[in-house]
Structure 1
Amino acid sequence: MIRVFLWEARDYYNFGHISMSLSDGTYISFWPEEEVVLIEKKKSQEALPHIYAEDVEVEGRPSDQVLTLPDDIVNAEKIKSWWNSYKYANQWNLFGNNCAFVIREAFLVGGIFLTDEARAKSKKGCMYTPRKVFDWIKVCKKVYEKHK
């Protein structure tokens, strides 16, 4: 099973977080190397979290929600290959290349089934938040289950 983890935003300084794990143990979580300054790009961490427990430690609490997805909703090998080349080669940016954008991209690379409704919620050019991407994945899951 694929699992998507959502940490809700708590206050002005905590934007929330989203990560995911594939059935083979691959864990996708994208963080800046240093503290966030809103308009600056930051290098991604040299040692990104490799397991859920490391995100729990950074966030200081377990995820607020977990969404479980069937393995065949995406091509996990494509996601894994993409993530292995992407994770250290890209800069983190709150308004663009953040954790939510990365999880969304992982699902798109993996071939998540999109209807017009799901595609509309996935338009480029808007700011992706953990909550928005989590809700988008839930829509994709419903569409997948309906067409299965």
Structure 2
Amino acid sequence: MANLPEIRREILENDTAKRIVLKLKTERLDSQDYRTSAKRVVSEIFPDLETDTRIRIIVIDVWTERTFIVIDINRHDYDFETADEDKTILPVSVLRQHGRRKNWVLVRWPREDENLATQVANLHRLNGFEPTPFLQDHNTRICYANPRNLSPRLPLPSSGK
């Protein structure tokens, strides 16, 4: 276990692209504005969130008890326009508070590297060109108004008349 400045330094110490999943209790967020409250929590960890181009919040995944915030670090080749087709596998680590003292813990989570790459690409496809971070609130009905890459409708066969 380490303190937050040490963990932040470990995450940002090199220019390697990586994906951090911040795991927290959903009750820490404002249910009326998940995006703003999630950004507030992330900015507690990364105080330069608004100005540091190395840090990008991609997804806020809200469940009843837990929320998972997917953050890309040092993803300099990220292209929003083609992200629905990009399944680049990044090393995934989970950042969470643990124990009575609420110490921060950063744990490498290799079993999620490939899975999360696919999920993030799929969320880009489903959310269309809505700006990130994408909000997935599993406590409500999720509706995708304008997904990307829909197959064009095939014309109806002509009757030959």
Same fold, TM-score > 0.5, yes or no: no
Could you state the TM-score of these two structures normalised by the residue count of structure 1? 0.26
Could you state the TM-score of these two structures normalised by the residue count of structure 2? 0.24
Between Structure 1 and Structure 2, the one with more helix by share is: 1
Larger of the two Rg values belongs to structure: 2
